[in-house]
Amino acid sequence: MIEFKGVSKTYNGKVKALDNMNFTVGDGELVGFIGPNGSGKTTTIKLLSGVLVPDNGLVKVNGFDVNKEPLKAKASIGYIADNPDVFLRLKGVEFLNFIGDVYKTPADERKKTIDELAERFEMQNALNSQILSYSHGMRQKLMVIAALMHKPKVWILDEPMTGLDPKSSFELKALMREHTKAGNSVFFSTHVLEVAEKLCDKVVIIKKGHKLYDGTLAELEKRNKDKNLEDIFLELTGKK
C-alpha cells in the first residue's frame, strides 16, 4: 500500500519538480509510472524511499509515514534506485549479505532467495567476484536480488528493466506479477510503453511534476477510442 497525498518538492528552492501530486497504489496492484524525461518520476520514487523529504504533503508506505517513522517504512520497502553502481569494491555475495544484515533477514531466508534468484538471473558465478567487474545489467540484477531478500510487501523500482537482456527482463516481469498476485504492491517507472501496457493494472502518467492521468489502462483506452497507448501518451504529454 502506497499513499502519496498533496506532495510538492522543490530542488534548491528553485526547480519545482513535483507540484501537488496525488496517487495511491493498493494491495495487489501493479502500477506503472510513465512520463517524459525530467517529468519527476525519479523525484517521486526518491520521496517514497526516504531519500528526499517533501516540501509538504504526506508520503505513506504500508501505513508508515516515511518521514515520521522512517526506519519502519524503509524496512518494509524493496527499493531499486535508478543507478545500480554502489559499493563496487564489494563482491556480489558480500553486498547481498550486507543488505541481509541491514534489513535483518535471517541467514537461511537470505540463502533461499539468493539461490532461487541467482539461478533465475544466471548470476551464480558472478556473485563471487567484485561488483566492479559486472556489466550494467548484472549490477541491475544484483540490486533486484538484494531488494527482494527481506520479502518486502511493497516494491518501488526506478526503471528496473534498463539494460536487462530479454530473459532477465522476462524473469523480472514474472516476479513482479507473482508478487502482486500474492496481494502485494509494485510501483515502477518505465519508458517502455509496451511493458506498461502488458504488465500493469494501472498507470500513473506525469508531466512536468503534474499528474495527467491515474487509472486503469482499459479506462484510458475507452476514453481514446481506436488509439494505441503510444499515441495516447504522445498526445497527453503534448509531443504530438
Partner 1 sequence: MNVFLQLIKITGSSVEPSIDEKKRSQAFGVIMGFLVFTLIFIPVSGFVGYMVYALTKGVVALGGAESAAAGLSLMLHIIALFSVVFGFTVVMSVFYFSSDLNYLLPLPISPMKIVGAKLASTMISENVMECFLVFSALLGFMAGYGFDPPSGGGINAVSIIAAIFGVLTFPVVPICYCAAICLVVMYFSKFFKNKERVSKLTAFSSIVILAALVFALNLSNGFDPDAFVSQLINNDIGLLNVLDKIFFNVSLLSKAMSGSFAALLLYIIANAASVGIVLLLASKLYLKAVISLGGGEGSASSKEAVDAYSKKIKESSQLMTYFKKELKILIRTPAYMSNCMGINLIWPIFIYVFVVLQKQSNFLGDSIDKLKAGDSQTVLFATLLVFGVSVLLTSLNCIASSAVTREGRHFEVMKYLPVDIMTQLNAKALVSIVVSGAGLIVYIITAFAILGIAPSFTIYCVLLSILAVIYSTYLGIYIDTKNPKLIWEDELNALRGNYHVFYNMALELIVTAALCGASYGLFLLGFLPVFIIQSLIMLLAAFLSYEFYTVCKKKGVANIKKIEM
Footprint of ligand ATP (CB under 6 A): 11-12, 15, 17, 35, 37-43
Q: Looking at this protein, which amino acid is placed at residue 153?
A: K
Which C-beta is closer to Mg ion: that of 12 or that of 125? 12
For helices 107-120 and 92-102, what crossing angle results, to 10°?
140
169 makes contact with Mg ion (CB under 5 A): no
Residue 45: which of 87, 85, 80 has the closest Cα? 80
- If the CB atoms of residues 12 and 56 are measured against ligand ATP, the closer one turns out to be 12
CB of 41 to Mg ion, least distance (A): 5
The three cell numbers of residue 105 are 533477514
> Of 91 and 227, which has the nearer Cβ to partner 1?
91
Residues of this chain that interact with partner 1 (CB under 8 A) are 11-12, 46, 49-53, 70-72, 74-75, 79, 81, 83, 85-87, 89-94, 96-98, 100-104, 106-107, 110-111, 114-115, 118-119, 124-130, 132-133
The least distance separating partner 1 from the CB of residue 97, rounded to whole angstroms, comes to 6
The arrangement of strands across the sheet holding 2-11 comes to: 15-25, 2-11, 56-61, 64-65
Least CB distance from residue 81 to ligand ATP, whole Å?
Answer: 11
Q: How far is the CB of 35 from ligand ATP (least distance, A)?
A: 5
Of the two residues 97 and 202, which places its CB atom closer to partner 1 in the complex?
Answer: 97
For Mg ion, the binding residues (CB under 5 A) are 41-42
